Amino acid sequence: MKRADNLNLLIFALFFTGILIFSSGCTSDSDTPEEKTVLKILPAGSLMLPFEYLEEDYESKNPGIDVQYEGHGSIQCIRQVTDLNRNFDLVVVADSSLIPDMMMRNNPETGENYSDDYTEFATNEIVIAYTDESLYSDEINQENWYEILKRPDVTVGFSNPMLDAAGYRTFMLFQLSGQYYGDDNLIYEIAGDHMKGGITIEKTGKTERIMLPELVQPSDEKLKIRDGSIFLLYLLEGGGVDYAIEYKSVAEGHDLNYIRLPEEINLGNSSMNSIYDNVSVNLGFERFSSIGSERIGRSTIYGWTVPNNADNPDEAEKFAEYMETEFRENRYGWPPAL
Amino acid sequence: MAGMFNLRNILKGVLPLLLVALFLVFSAGCTGSAESDQNIAGSQAAVEEPSGEITLVYNNGTERTLNYEDLSRLPQKTGWGYAVSTVGIKYGPYKCTGPLLSDIAGIAGGMEDGDMMWVSADDGYMWVFDYEQVNGGGYITLDENLQETKSPELEVILMHTIDGHPLEYNDGAPYRVAIISDRKDIITEGSCWVKWTSKIEIRGEADEKGR
């Protein structure tokens, strides 16, 4: 009898264990923790450092939100929405003019524009980044930087203008510098003469148009041209290049030395747009059919927009407001707020 | 205690049946995800062969449409491909299979030093390769820490098969340019891995200047 009782108790325990397993483990779809709202964001590559912070901080303050971001070059960010028909809640780019150019047009699938408005919120400027190991690092300053970069033994890196706004802004910087310092050969001596296919400059009135070849590749060891600025940072840190053309926030974010440049040439002050637009860059081919091959000089302004097909537009607006507030803190290594 | 004994007696009769029923329900209903995975695997297995067309434009402007059958008649190359985006996100490594771009150019009479290959895609993306690149030269190669490393021998293919199955849409189906080597740890810049390739155009040096 005692043995039978024990057996019954064992069966009883097994029964309840089974019930517990069934109710907890067999309903994976319905019994997962409360589903979070996924906020899908496309930030420009130069915002990757701020977004590491923004994602973690926003999620800790908003436990119901899962921030998922996917960094690309600015044009590629927009194309994810317009050309690849992917749904994102927020697009944040390093050239705000791309939004009206590429998104304020009809989306044939919905009959409305990809976006109808945008907000400008931060700026940046081009600098010459280097390390203590760079050749002539003890000599370079704001007055002589271009003379140092021209030296035959100095290597210079920048990102591919076909792929990265910082890349075509590099050529604008060189040509504006030529005008500013009265040195017509500056752009050739630092870049053009060291590229396969070279470059040509077409002058129309006061505008100087830099014509790039189809293939932007170095013809010798002086230039290092890479797909994105992250690869230049690795090169700089490893001694593979002496000087790299970067955004100021990126140089700061990676603890690099940098030379700030005069406002007339650094593409960082919107009151100088009438000077910046004296130069333009014509890319060797239209990498994307959705945007032309001409880029006109203007100051670096970051902008955000919520696409009209966003799944969570209200949450996206809230995040954007939070993002703007955080940028107004003007943290070291972040593009400064407008 | 008496209540417990009563419960014991009740349970003693029905418990074996309940347990059997519980076991059956548990084993039948608790495999939702595995079943879904099997369905996904099954649907992949159902697609056996790549398909799709590209337009090949010769140096003289002649156009020819190539389908998978045409491409599969060319020698097929298989190797490891591993790409990185402009912001440092790595994709791969993948086992990639397809014909060499240089062999595709061969259908159009081949390329010479100075010629360019313009590769464009359905989504409006375009990339230009020179003669050296079509033949596997002139690329930056990186290790898994994204540090530049000496390039092994590279080959550039029009990939139709990835990890043993036809490309899916997100892979760049039906055809995608891939840079491959015999090493799994070699990464190349992703800008030339043209997804959804639909047109390959050979342009001569003289032709370029005339355009």
- Phi/psi for A129 (5° steps) reads -95, 145
Same domain for B102 and B189, yes or no, is yes
Query: Residue B47 above 70 pLDDT?
Result: no
Chain B partners of A102 at a C-beta cutoff of 8 Å? Answer: none
Q: Are A92 and A306 in contact (CB under 8 A)?
A: no
Same domain for B202 and B174, yes or no, is yes
Same domain for B116 and B39, yes or no, is no
Same domain for B74 and B142, yes or no, is yes
- Identity of the residue in B19, B116, B146 whose CB atom sits nearest the CB atom of A231: B146
Better-scored residue on pLDDT, B60 or A156: A156
Q: Which amino acid, A4?
A: A
Q: What is the ipTM of this complex?
A: 0.78
CATH superfamily of the domain spanning A126-296: Periplasmic binding protein-like II (3.40.190.10)
Same domain for B85 and B112, yes or no, is yes
- Phi/psi for A274 (5° steps) reads -70, -20
Better-scored residue on pLDDT, B59 or A42: A42
Task: Return the CATH number at B99.
Answer: 3.90.420.10
Same domain for B205 and B119, yes or no, is yes
Taking the C-alpha atoms of residue A50 and residue A58, their distance in angstroms, rounded to an integer, is 12
Same domain for B128 and B34, yes or no, is no
Better-scored residue on pLDDT, A208 or A3: A208
Average pLDDT over residues A179-202: 96
Query: Residue A123 above 80 pLDDT?
Result: yes
- Identity of the residue in A18, A29, A230 whose CB atom sits nearest the CB atom of B19: A18
What is the domain range of residue B28? 2-45
Taking the C-alpha atoms of residue A156 and residue A169, their distance in angstroms, rounded to an integer, is 15
- Identity of the residue in A11, A28, A234 whose CB atom sits nearest the CB atom of B147: A234
Same domain for B152 and B70, yes or no, is yes
Same domain for B38 and B119, yes or no, is no
Query: Residue A39 above 90 pLDDT?
Result: yes
- Give the nearest chain B residue to A166 (CA atoms): B86
Query: Would the CB atoms of A285 and B126 count as touching at under 8 Å?
Result: yes
What pLDDT is stored for residue B206 in this prediction?
Answer: 46
- Phi/psi for B25 (5° steps) reads -65, -45
Q: How confident is the model at residue B15 (pLDDT cuts 50, 70, 90)?
A: low
Percent of chain B exceeding pLDDT 90 equals: 65
* A290 has a chain B CB within 8 A of its CB: yes
**Would you tell me which residues 80-99 of chain A have a C-beta closer than 8 angstroms to some C-beta of chain B?**
83-84
DSSP A115-128: -S--EEEEE--EEE
The secondary element (H helix, E strand) that includes residue A294 is strand A294-296
What pLDDT is stored for residue A12 in this prediction?
Answer: 56
What pLDDT is stored for residue A228 in this prediction?
Answer: 87
Q: How confident is the model at residue A33 (pLDDT cuts 50, 70, 90)?
A: low
Radius of gyration of chain A (CA): 26
Which residues lie across from B176 on neighbouring strands? B159
DSSP B88-133: S-EEEEEEEEEEBHHHHHHHTT---TT-EEEEEETTSBEEEEEHHH
Same domain for B57 and B80, yes or no, is yes
Tens of pLDDT, residues A11-27: 555 555 555 544 444 44
What pLDDT is stored for residue B57 in this prediction?
Answer: 96
Lowest mean pLDDT among A7-16, B11-20, B193-202: B11-20
- Identity of the residue in A21, A25, A164 whose CB atom sits nearest the CB atom of B86: A164
CA angle A206, A209, A210 (to 5 degrees): 140
- Give the nearest chain B residue to A85 (CA atoms): B123
Q: How confident is the model at residue B205 (pLDDT cuts 50, 70, 90)?
A: low
Q: Smallest CA–CA separation between A79 and chain B, in Å? A: 9
Q: How confident is the model at residue B42 (pLDDT cuts 50, 70, 90)?
A: very low
Better-scored residue on pLDDT, A10 or B92: B92
What pLDDT is stored for residue A17 in this prediction?
Answer: 54
Chain B partners of A5 at a C-beta cutoff of 8 Å? Answer: 5, 8
Burial class of residue B18 (count of CB atoms within 10 Å of its CB; 0-12, 13-18, 19+): middle
First to last CA, chain A: 85
Q: Which amino acid, A115?
A: S
Q: How confident is the model at residue B204 (pLDDT cuts 50, 70, 90)?
A: confident
> Which fold would CATH assign to domain A37-123+301-327?
D-Maltodextrin-Binding Protein; domain 2 (3.40.190)
Per the structure, how many domains does chain B have? Answer: 2
Q: Are B74 and B104 in contact (CB under 8 A)?
A: yes
Do A37-123+301-327 and A126-296 come out as alike in CATH topology? yes
Q: How confident is the model at residue B152 (pLDDT cuts 50, 70, 90)?
A: very high
Q: Smallest CA–CA separation between B89 and chain A, in Å? A: 8
Same domain for B72 and B90, yes or no, is yes
Query: Would the CB atoms of B142 and A72 count as touching at under 8 Å?
Result: no
What pLDDT is stored for residue A112 in this prediction?
Answer: 93
Query: Residue A69 above 90 pLDDT?
Result: yes
Same domain for B8 and B88, yes or no, is no
Q: Smallest CA–CA separation between A73 and chain B, in Å? A: 7
List Cβ<8 Å contacts ≥24 apart for A47-52. Answer: A47/A71, A47/A92, A47/A94, A47/A302, A47/A335, A48/B87, A48/B88, A49/A249, A49/A250, A49/A253, A49/A333, A49/A334, A50/A326, A50/A327, A50/A331, A50/A333, A50/A334, A50/A335
**Could you state, in order of their start, the residue ranges of all structural domains in chain A?**
37-123+301-327, 126-296
What pLDDT is stored for residue A28 in this prediction?
Answer: 45
